[in-house]
Amino acid sequence: MTIHEYTAVIHSDVTGSYWADVPALPGCASQGETISETLENIKGAIADYLAVLREDGDVIPEDAPIIRKVTVAV
């Protein structure tokens, strides 16, 4: 078993729920009612995503996003 580590970006929505995506894995996303639930769900989504890549013989990408906070005065 190989361990992979990815950056998950967690977003809140207007209903108070959360959703997460993984910039290094396009289309890999999940959601949950709490941040903890969202993190658990995105772990499952990542595992499924990587399993499909492996089954198809595709390369498993490395996590390499550059994430920075940006301050803007309006």
The pLDDT-based confidence of 66 (bands split at 50, 70, 90) is confident
Degrees to nearest 5, angle at CA 62 with 60 and 65: 135
Instruction: Give the C-alpha separation, 44 to 17, whole Å.
Output: 18
Q: Stretch 10-38: mean pLDDT, rounded?
A: 96
* Residues in Cβ contact with 54 at an 8 Å cutoff, skipping those fewer than 6 apart: 60
Phi, psi of 70 (to 5 degrees): -125, 130
Q: Tens digit of pLDDT for each residue in 31-63?
A: 999 999 999 999 999 999 999 999 999 999 999
- Sign of the torsion formed by the C-alpha atoms of 30, 35, 39 and 41: negative
Q: What is the residue type of 22?
A: V
pLDDT at 15 over 80: yes
In CATH, what number is assigned to the domain containing residue 21? Answer: 3.30.160.250
Mean pLDDT, the chain, as a whole number? Answer: 94
Q: How many domains does the chain have?
A: 1
Range of the domain at 22: 1-74
Q: Is the pTM of this model over 0.85?
A: yes
